[in-house]
Amino acid sequence: MNPAIFVFAYLAVVLYIGIFAFRRPHPEGAEDFFLASRSLGPLVFLLSLFGTNMSAFTILGSSGHAFHNGIVTFGLMASSSALIIPLGLFLVGPRMWALGKKFGFMTPVQMFRHRWECGHTGTLIFLVQATLLVPYIIIGVMGGGTTLQTISGGVVPYWLGGAVVALTVMSYVFFGGMRGTAWVNTFQTTLFLCFGAVAVLLIGNGMGGFGEAMEALESSPLTKSLLTRERVPPLFFLSYTFIPLSSIAFPHIIIFCLTARHMNQFKRTVIFYPLCILAIWLPCVFLGVAANRLTDVPKIGTKIEARQEMAKNAAQMTPAERAQTRAKMAADDVIPIMLERFAPLWLAGLLGAGIMAAVMASDSQILALSTMFTEDVFAFYGGKERFGETVQVNTGRLFVVLLTLFAYIVAQTYPASIFDLAVQYAFSGYSALSPLLFAALFWKGSTKYGALAATAWVAVSVIAVAVYQASVPPPVGPPVTSWALADWPVLQRTANGTAVLGLMPVVPMTLVSALLMAVVSMVTPKPSAGTLRAYFKG
């Protein structure tokens, strides 16, 4: 329990920072609670914005994916993210900030409603965005349960670890609002940025050097492919370049863009963001690959044996046996296992706190959904005018409680890996919604009907993917073709998801969404001239 004690102490510090340390004695109302009065300084803005985009997906999910797929994981997510996310922030962030200051926007849906002069279409956009953000919140609870269970040696069960994290996040979001969340994210981001370097040096030294570990993996026929791109088909690899589009479309990222004190803060963020991505993703992926060398560690040996058994005997297994073997293969906990193996108890506890710092980044998503619900539903349909601003803030707090409870319940029953859950639903859905944001901000000819068509398409396609994957069991080995034209496979079930024309679903989802926005907008009435003048010159 010694490492877990350090983590519990860390959680106590987080609660203090989020609830008491930076709380103003006289809250200024909804804008202060939800946007920190648009007053975050450069350092807090950079670290909190980066921290809110990192999560259990970054440390636990990336290392678990790298454990089974190799160094290609870095190319899938980190390389394209380091280019596309800063570029998106550079294009969208300052314009959203300026519009937020000009019109008082607190959520992206408020901007959509004003820009396109739409009411109920904005409500539909809210519903789709809220639904797609919930999986991101769920993986935070899953990551907390996994981390505490592993570093405590099983003394803290998964359900209790998830509950501790959920209650901690709920508490400081409930009391601290955006100000408390931003300062917690600043503290946590600093902590997990230091985690990578320390963990690599510590574990590398314990393994006798990473060079030797990599040479051993390369010399074995069973692990050589982990050091190549063999395990991910080229079209799937290309598909992942669409995933980072989700980052700028995430409501919590847009809402954070509205909290900056000055517009020029975006310049530093764009410069330093890629460096922060490198500092986190490189060590996590490297450690995940290197874990395959630790066959003498029972917990890791069991995962490797299960993977080999699945590869050899999957055809003869029953569905129940396959599910049981996949559960043994689950690798989201490989970094905590490596820390348990190589770190002194006190240091394993400190590094476990670093992992928890990334895991708990779901706070911003919870606050974002609370902000959207109170502004886009409660206030829009007359609640603020009827009951007042205090009731609006308390309604947001109640929403935080209900949302956290829902995420916890789902996290206890959903069997998917953190990486797959995030990519297949949260990231893919928001990537497909990104054309709405770019069209609203930069295309004078876009209309609410184009936005309605694109949003409906995203909702239907995400549901279709979920239903398809639930009805067709994942294969082991080559994909199974469900629909083909002649000899050309159109729809396939893969081991980790779905392929459409050899691509991840995010590609056709995003392209069709952009096409619908363009075509429908061209043939439908535009907003009034006054509204267009407010957004565009000339």
pTM for the whole structure: 0.89
- What does the pLDDT look like over 228-248, one tens digit per residue? 888 788 888 889 899 899 989
* CA gap 71, 342 in Å, rounded: 22
Which residue did the predictor score with more confidence, 85 or 363? 85
Residue 503 pairs with which residues in a beta bridge?
A: 500
Residues 403/370, Cβ–Cβ less than 8 Å: yes
Averaged pLDDT for residues 56-71: 85
Phi–psi pair at 398, nearest 5 degrees: -60, -40
Place of tokens 């669409």: 242
List of residues 6+ apart from 464 with CB closer than 8 A: none
Averaged pLDDT for residues 71-78: 90
Averaged pLDDT for residues 312-321: 82
Model confidence at 151, in pLDDT bands (50, 70, 90)?
A: confident
Which residue did the predictor score with more confidence, 470 or 63? 63
Phi–psi pair at 492, nearest 5 degrees: -135, 145
Average pLDDT of the residues of the chain:
87
- Strand, coil or helix: 201: helix
- Strand, coil or helix: 318: coil
Does the pLDDT at position 1 exceed 60? no
Element containing residue 484 per DSSP (H, E): strand 480-485
Residues 319/345, Cβ–Cβ less than 8 Å: no
Does the pLDDT at position 46 exceed 60? yes
* Residue 88: CB atoms within 10 Å: 21
Question: Which domains, from first to last, does the chain contain?
Answer: 2-432+477-507 (1.20.1730.10)
* CA gap 261, 42 in Å, rounded: 8
* CA gap 487, 375 in Å, rounded: 51
Averaged pLDDT for residues 264-271: 89
Model confidence at 124, in pLDDT bands (50, 70, 90)?
A: very high
Averaged pLDDT for residues 193-197: 77
